[in-house]
Structure formats: C-alpha cells, structure tokens
Amino acid sequence: MRHNEFRQRLDRLQQVLTRGLAYYTVWKNLRLHDPSKVSWSLEEQNEVLGRFRGFITPVTLALLDMTLMEFAKVFDKDPKTASLTNLLAAARQDTTLIPRASAGDVNEISAQLRQSKRIRAELKRMRDQQLAHVDIEPLPVGPIQNTELDKLVDDVKSAFNSLSTAHDGRVVSWEYSLQTADRDTTEVLRVFIEEIKRRQKEHDDEMVGIGLEAIRSQQTHLGRRLENGELRSIKQSYGLTDEEMQRIEEQYGSS
C-alpha cells in the first residue's frame, strides 16, 4: 500500500466512524438520561419515550442497528475495505506508512482493541447473519452492554487517532464533529417535554373549567354554596386530580 492510499483509506474510515458515532450519540441521548447534561428528570424523559413511542421506538432501533453496522465495518477483513483491521495490518507490514511510530506501537493498539473481543465477535455475527441480509431468518441480537459499547467506541477513536498521528500527524477531534448531533438531539427532547407539559396544562385547564361549571350548576340548583363533602363528590365524579381540585377550590372560594 502506498503512502497516499493509506491516507485515503484513513479518510474513508474517518467517515465511517463519524457516521457511527453520530448514530450512537443520538441513540444515547434518546435512550439514556444524563442529569449532568439535561434539566429534566428521568421520569419526564421516560414519559416522552412512552408518549411518542410510535416515532421514537423505530428511530432508536434503527439508530442502534446502524451504529452496530458502522462499527462492524471498522473490523472488516475484506482487503478492499478501509477498515481499522486492514490499516493496522498494513502498518505492521510496512512501517514506512507510520514514520512517527513503530511496529511495536501498532501492536499496542491491536492489543488494546483485542480487549473488546466479545463485542467485536457479536458485531461480526450481526453484520454477517442479521443486518447485512434480508433473505434469511434474522437471529436474535445478543446482549450488548452499554458499557461494552462505550469502551469499544473509546478504543476505536483512540486507535484511529494513534494510527493517523503515526502516519502524518493528523488528529481528529471527535467531540467537535459530534457537537451538532448531541445538541440537536437534546433540543428535540426538550421540545417533546415542553409539548407534553403544554398538553397537560391544556387538559388541566379544561378539567378545571368542567369542574367549576359543574359546581356552579349544582349551586344554582340548590340555591346555596356547596359544602366540602359536595365538592369532594364532584371531584370523584369527574376524576379530578388533587392539583385540579385545588385550583377549582381557589377560584370557587374567591368568587
């Protein structure tokens, strides 16, 4: 492999990694709650996932599938691919491709990646038997822990930058390239949460109005103000929440 071809394959691999990392970033922001990043609670985020599940569930499943597909490409052994596996093998065979490092450095990178052997095997199985084919019965996805995938992601990013630096000194800032995906997904969740709150307020306002109308109607019929027991009966009849009833009592008491 020539020097310029090595760089071209590194650039292609960078594109694969960037896509995979973007998919994973969006997936994590949708499915996992990070109180250090967001202002809403875990319960509020779970409510979003449940309320809009017809959209979010297929989106998150597709994102995870695509994440795993892109990272499976990183370890593809087909000689035509721009995989990390092939680039490491080329660098080990011809150290002139990595003038800023040595074959020993490449071996260290490979050893680090081998620590994720189980999840790499699972990725390969999924690529070969499940995601890459539509003409066979899909096999169940094996259990992939989030911590495992996080470690693999970190190891791959580190390995790529080590190899790129060894080749020509270039380093990729992955965090910078993923800022938009991270920020925009958080903003989408915020919009969903605000919409749920808006709908809930609209519902509460409607129920308060219904409750007040029922109280006034009964008051007109009886020709007097209602007693506490009668107010409680209306609350039960209309399924009013404590908060809705409190608002009703405050408005009724001031009228």
Q: Residues with Cβ < 8 Å from 90, sequence gap 6 or more? A: 1, 6, 97
pTM exceeding 0.85: no
Mean pLDDT by 10 residues, the chain (255 residues): 91 95 94 91 94 94 90 88 92 92 88 79 69 47 70 91 94 90 95 95 96 94 91 93 93 76
Residue with tokens 């084919």: 133
The encoded tokens of residue 175 equal 């965090």
